[in-house]
Every structure is written in C-alpha cells, then in structure tokens.
C-alpha cells in the first residue's frame, strides 16, 4: 500500500527532521498544443515539490496554494516539453495545453528539469482521477540540516 495524503501530513507534523513534504501522482501522458504533441510524465503535485527538487523558474510562476485549493487547471513546463510543443525559444506562459483532452493554462516554465522531462500540474482529486488514470503515487521530502 502506498502513502496517502494524510500519511504525508503526519510525517511532516511528527518527524522534526523533515522540512518539506510533497505528495504527488505520476503518469505517462500525451500533452497537446495545436497540432504538436509530446508523450511525457505528468505529475499532479502541490506547491512544495519545486522547493524540494530545487527547480528554478525561467518564466512565469509555479502554481500557488490558491490554484491547488481552487482546483485550477494549471501547468508548469520544462525545457523539453516547451521545445517539443512550442519551439526552442518560445515562452508559452499564458497558452493552453491539453492533457487527456482537458485544458491546462501554462503558468510557468523551468530553467531545467528532471531527466524524464516531468510536467507538474496542480494536485487535486479531480485531476488525479480524471486526468491521471493509471498513476503512481509518491511522496517527496526534504530534510532539515542537522545542527553540529
């Protein structure tokens, strides 16, 4: 059995060495913009994953707590996804992509990304059930530095 959102919160609340915790679900999906498409890993996540993974922004912003709470359909794209869908030097912030035929507004792009070119979207129940059908649930964490 995998960890649940409640498990992740409990770990963060009760293990003092854990500084940040970010539950996320992953799936390999087709992402479409206009007549371009790219098969990539889509991650439903919350606002802490870019902090845990140290992802820097190239343009725009990462989605906010308000986006997650409001079930906003927003996405942040890595370099490879930007190049495949929009072209090498494009800035797609404000454009709308489609994931499983659902529209997602691009709110940011990263300076660099994970080796498998993941594409994070706001983690909400509607997305994890409707957009990411066969998903892999995970929890990412970052520890605090020990005092010496």
Rg of the chain over all Cα atoms, to the nearest angstrom: 15
Question: Six-digit token pair at 96?
Answer: 């709308």
DSSP H helical segments within 28-124, as ranges? 49-53, 65-69, 79-86
Closest CA to 104 of 84, 79, 77: 77
* Listed residue (60, 71, 78, 91) closest to 119, CA to CA: 78
Q: Confirm if 82 and 141 have CB atoms less than 8 A apart.
A: no
Q: What pLDDT does 133 receive?
A: 42
Q: What is the pLDDT of residues 37-64, one digit of tens each?
A: 988 888 787 777 777 777 788 899 988 8
């Amino acid at each position: 059995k995998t960890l649940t959102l409640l498990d992740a919160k409990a770990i963060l609340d009760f293990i003092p060495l854990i500084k940040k915790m970010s539950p996320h679900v992953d799936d390999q999906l087709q992402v479409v913009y206009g007549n371009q498409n790219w098969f990539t890993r889509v991650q439903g996540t919350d606002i802490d994953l870019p902090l845990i993974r140290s992802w820097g922004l190239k343009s725009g912003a990462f989605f906010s707590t308000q986006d997650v709470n409001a079930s906003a359909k927003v996405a942040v794209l890595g370099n490879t996804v930007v190049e495949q869908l929009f072209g090498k030097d494009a800035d797609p912030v404000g454009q709308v992509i489609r994931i499983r035929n659902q529209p997602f507004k691009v709110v940011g792009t990263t300076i660099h990304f994970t080796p498998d070119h993941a594409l994070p979207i706001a983690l909400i129940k509607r997305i994890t059930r409707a957009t990411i059908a066969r998903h892999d649930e995970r929890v990412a964490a970052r520890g605090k530095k020990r005092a010496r």
